[in-house]
Structure 1
Amino acid sequence: MSDVATIAAIAKDKAQALGIQKFDVCGSTVDEASVQVDQGEPKQVKASKRSSVMVRVWNEANTVGVTTTSEVDEQGLELALKTAQEASAFGAKEYVPDFSPEATAALDTTQSELVPQAEIATLIDNLVQTEAKLMDAHDAISGVPYNGLAQRDAQRFYLNSEGAMRQEARSSSSVYLYSVTEQEGKRPRSAGAYRVSQGLDQLDIEGCLQETAEKTISHLNYQPITSGKYRVVLSAEAFLSLLGAFSNLFNAQSILDNRSLATVESLGTEIASPLLSVADDALHADNVGKTTFDDEGTPTRRIPIIDKGVLTHFLHSSGTAKRLDAQPTGHANLGAKVTVGPHFYHVFAASTPEQTYSLETAENVVFIDDVQALHAGVKALQGSFSLPFDGWLVNKGEKISIESATVAGDFRDLLTSIIYVESEAELTPGGICPRIWVDELSITGE
């Protein structure tokens, strides 16, 4: 992708020729490659380089036209500006989006950099060796049907007609392993793990392998569970999956659209246990996908969402912030409509608890490692969920795999029923989070 200053110069010249006074451009280029293997042979090799550019134009009546393109050369930008100019005649007349008031504010000085990508052959060799080691970890492991080793370079920019210009680049590498078992007279069991880092050299492939093997083996001796109410421990991934599914609680756009469990008046009220704090932190040191600005050019920053159980902030675009007399938080996504979305959750204990808990001493607790079927089992506007899960029944450190079960409840009740937030956090694709202990949830066995 061209330098943002070059793109800005082209866009300014073309806009002037078309009589456009107000416009902005947001774009990205992604260069990625990934491999999958099957029984020691390459199964799928993919590589792509794609660009996406969003152009908005305001007309004299202050309505906006939006168009997309994949080209940022003179011809591509001219056509996009012209198309957006024509579309502006049909733009919405209420709640018209505008430039972010922070589009020219200083950015965080911490910038990610691109690292050289490894050869495809190197990715394949690494994954073939890892698959072989995983299958050798136990006689019952029959295959690794889902696996992947990928690397990605991403570059982003934002500019507008008032002189805003931003640009950033970052690299990431990731590995995913998911193994299955076959034992005569028993159901197949499975488990997976994921790791991510800036480059292949730093990627903890061995740790991913060990976690996948340990989880898979731990599920071999499974037993049914009696339906009832249980104290539940949620893994980092399980809790963040639920938090993401009910993120309308703190999404300002969802609240304004009446598509949220919260209202404007919910700000400042207690919605969770005072043991829990949650922030959205795009600049967190452990966030490999760190980004310094959103699609409107607003700088990202750490936003405390829940502080000691109290809902303290909503996530905003510049438009929602204006309507609610707040400040933009750097969470805007440009499209035909500006939407709001999180970056990277940081969940942590709000204070030192009076009582601590441990899986080594707890009796008859359910440890949920992963929840599934979120698309079908979550009613985001009602707050309820009923989800199949992978996990164990734990008694004084002894883990017994649960054959098949679902966990159900209301997310708001779950938040207020938290009795312990562990201190040691785990990094996941969606954020960093410790294990969360919930006093009681409904577990239904098969």
Structure 2
Amino acid sequence: MTPTTAAVTPSTATATATATADNAAASGLDAAALRGTLERLAASHGIRQWDLGASCSTDISVQVDRGEAKQMKGAQRSAITVRVWNDEGLVGVTSTSDLSDAGLETALVGARAASAFGNPDDTPAFSPLATAPLPELEQPLRPARPILRLLDTLQDAERQLLERHPAIGTVPYNGLAQRLSERLYLNSAGACRQQRLSTASLYLYARAEETGRKPRSAGAVRMAYGVDDLDVAGCIDEAAERTISHLDYGPIDTGRYTCVFTPEAFLDLIGAFSSLFNARAVLDGVSLSGRNAIGQPLAVPFLSIHDNGLHPGNIGAAAFDGEGTPTRPLALVEGGVLRHFLHSEATARAFGVEPTGHAGMGAKVSVSPDWFEVGPTPGSDGGQQGLDHRAPGQSDGPGLVVIDSLSALHAGVKASQGSFSLPFDGWLVRGGEARSIEAATVAGDIRQLLNAIVGFEGEAKITPDGLCPHVWVEDLSITGDA
């Protein structure tokens, strides 16, 4: 399969979308046939150990600008990685987009040649769980919709958002997309994994401006298995509410405040410091955690952080990782204590444990989290009870700072040192009244933050990155413009 991308005009959109959907259906991969081809080709070249990971997708997306189509795009993408182990146990890797017999043969031969340059100090092997039973996921395949229907839906959503407030003049960032994807993992030891998935996403990011005032922006995201399942109305409501709430802004005094992180903001912060739980980062010496950190206190005794890619709220959940290891829930922090690391086959072997289903694929395999669950540890007191940042009695004095969204995570986080200094959007709440903060930065150390959590507010919310309630943290440094 060769990657193709086409940007189309409205006059050709229907035909292009139909052809793309038909091609996606026609190009469904036959894992058993592909495995047979690889076995035959490998045997003909004397290759005894190999594996293959493939990811293919058909994507359709639209963007609009003031009611007009800004971009309409269809694309077919494929990424195939082939690894070969030579007689010395060294690994070579090649990438291709050609699943024909000739393309696969070229990839196998190229990977075998590359294996002569493999790193003998870091050699991956097959996951011992690559043939273990996979979890059953409820992931209905939804039909693709014509691109003009996506355009109509997004145009209507933009129109409704613009009508919510006179100050909302544009929705500069928006998009509606649908994807049909397929993943494979095969190896010479009998592993044969395959998963098909349909997903859809909508994002709306509005910009509002009043005379003599700075522009203010906010947005919302929704995901589902198909376009028809998307909560379009909810996305419009949330984007409008958040944008309007930032219009009446004011400065904040520099100082130390109790902060309330929204679920999205707290999950972003945990994700930025996920090397705390990453065995690859531990072995490479770029994690705050050491090899003997398991069983050591990391946070307040009522905090729980799990990685659970199988949660029903995780649209796009993967049943297996890049090495074929089944996905499973994993307790990272329980009762404030670090319980597990995220592992690939190689890191699990180094630690003497089983792989956890968080590996990528390559000569040096990466490790990454799937989907976080954050909340109180079952059976604990859960910290302070009855927290509500809107209640007048809980926001007296200097007030509470509600951190709605964090910016510049790529630049403001030093994961290997634990420090962060991040601009944010949010509100200062005094006496139950909230006012948007004009500009401010929150700074601190992630270990101190995890030990300064006061408690949780409200029900946990499902977001694209995980499940989390509002999180209260005391004594954080806020730098304002006042």
Deviation at 1:354, TM superposition (A): 5.4
Q: Equivalent of 2:38, from 11, 35, 45?
A: 11
Q: Equivalent of 1:370, from 383, 402, 405?
A: 405
- TM-score w.r.t. the length of structure 1 is 0.98
What secondary structure does 2:292 align onto? helix
Q: Equivalent of 2:236, from 187, 209, 213?
A: 209
- In structure 2, the residue matched to 1:188 is 215
| Alpha-carbon separation, structure 2, partners of 1:206 and 1:290 | 24
Deviation at 1:175, TM superposition (A): 0.6
User: Equivalent residues in 2 for 1:61-140 (5 A)?
Assistant: 61-110=88-137, 112-140=139-167
**Does 2:382 align with 1:353?**
yes
| Alpha-carbon separation, structure 2, partners of 1:413 and 1:289 | 33
Change (3 A) 1:440 1:167: same
Question: Is the Cα contact below 8 Å between 2:124 and 2:363 reproduced in 1?
Answer: no
Task: Give 5+ residue unaligned stretches, structure 1.
Answer: none
Deviation at 1:38, TM superposition (A): 0.3
| Alpha-carbon separation, structure 2, partners of 1:423 and 1:398 | 18
Which runs of structure 1 show a deviation greater than 4 angstroms over 4 or more consecutive aligned residues? none
| Alpha-carbon separation, structure 2, partners of 1:33 and 1:337 | 33
- In structure 1, the residue matched to 2:24 is none
The 10-residue stretch of structure 1 (330-339 or 422-431) with the greater mean CA deviation from structure 2: 422-431
| Alpha-carbon separation, structure 2, partners of 1:175 and 1:215 | 16
- In structure 1, the residue matched to 2:49 is 22
Deviation at 1:259, TM superposition (A): 0.6
What secondary structure does 2:356 align onto? coil
Question: Is the Cα contact below 8 Å between 2:123 and 2:364 reproduced in 1?
Answer: no
Deviation at 1:111, TM superposition (A): 5.1
**Does 2:86 align with 1:51?**
no
| Alpha-carbon separation, structure 2, partners of 1:111 and 1:293 | 15
What secondary structure does 1:144 align onto? strand
Equivalent residue letter for 1:128: Q
Deviation at 1:268, TM superposition (A): 0.5
**Does 2:209 align with 1:174?**
no
| Alpha-carbon separation, structure 2, partners of 1:441 and 1:260 | 23
**Does 2:448 align with 1:413?**
yes
Change (3 A) 1:275 1:86: same
- In structure 2, the residue matched to 1:266 is 293
- In structure 2, the residue matched to 1:386 is 421
| Alpha-carbon separation, structure 1, partners of 2:249 and 2:458 | 29
Question: Is the Cα contact below 8 Å between 1:112 and 1:168 reproduced in 2?
Answer: no
Aligned positions, number: 446
- In structure 2, the residue matched to 1:253 is 280
| Alpha-carbon separation, structure 1, partners of 2:426 and 2:403 | 4
- In structure 1, the residue matched to 2:5 is none
Equivalent residue letter for 1:145: P
Change (3 A) 1:423 1:184: closer
- In structure 1, the residue matched to 2:62 is 35
- In structure 2, the residue matched to 1:335 is 362
Change (3 A) 1:403 1:161: same
Question: Is the Cα contact below 8 Å between 2:123 and 2:363 reproduced in 1?
Answer: no
| Alpha-carbon separation, structure 2, partners of 1:354 and 1:308 | 11
- In structure 2, the residue matched to 1:403 is 438
Q: Percent identity?
A: 50
Question: Is the Cα contact below 8 Å between 1:359 and 1:395 reproduced in 2?
Answer: no
| Alpha-carbon separation, structure 1, partners of 2:123 and 2:64 | 49
| Alpha-carbon separation, structure 2, partners of 1:17 and 1:318 | 28
- In structure 1, the residue matched to 2:10 is none
CA deviation map 1:134-184 (0-9, x unaligned): 111001111100111111111001111011101001111111111111211
- In structure 2, the residue matched to 1:283 is 310
- In structure 1, the residue matched to 2:17 is none
**Does 2:467 align with 1:432?**
yes
Deviation at 1:273, TM superposition (A): 1.0
| Alpha-carbon separation, structure 1, partners of 2:465 and 2:152 | 28
Equivalent residue letter for 1:317: S
Change (3 A) 1:32 1:334: same
The 10-residue stretch of structure 1 (421-430 or 179-188) with the greater mean CA deviation from structure 2: 421-430
What secondary structure does 2:469 align onto? strand
Equivalent residue letter for 1:232: C
- In structure 1, the residue matched to 2:19 is none
- In structure 1, the residue matched to 2:353 is 326
Deviation at 1:201, TM superposition (A): 1.2
The 10-residue stretch of structure 1 (431-440 or 223-232) with the greater mean CA deviation from structure 2: 431-440
Equivalent residue letter for 1:53: I
Deviation at 1:355, TM superposition (A): 2.6
- TM-score w.r.t. the length of structure 2 is 0.91
Q: Equivalent of 2:332, from 305, 309, 319?
A: 305
The 10-residue stretch of structure 1 (395-404 or 3-12) with the greater mean CA deviation from structure 2: 395-404
| Alpha-carbon separation, structure 1, partners of 2:34 and 2:84 | 16
| Alpha-carbon separation, structure 2, partners of 1:196 and 1:444 | 34
Equivalent residue letter for 1:211: E
| Alpha-carbon separation, structure 1, partners of 2:365 and 2:457 | 37
Question: Is the Cα contact below 8 Å between 2:182 and 2:197 reproduced in 1?
Answer: yes
CA deviation map 1:325-353 (0-9, x unaligned): 11100000013420100111111211343
- In structure 2, the residue matched to 1:295 is 322
Question: Is the Cα contact below 8 Å between 1:349 and 1:422 reproduced in 2?
Answer: no
| Alpha-carbon separation, structure 2, partners of 1:146 and 1:354 | 38
| Alpha-carbon separation, structure 2, partners of 1:192 and 1:403 | 17
- In structure 1, the residue matched to 2:192 is 165
Question: Is the Cα contact below 8 Å between 1:7 and 1:73 reproduced in 2?
Answer: no
Deviation at 1:186, TM superposition (A): 0.6
Change (3 A) 1:299 1:120: same
What secondary structure does 1:375 align onto? helix
Task: Give 5+ residue unaligned stretches, structure 2.
Answer: 1-27
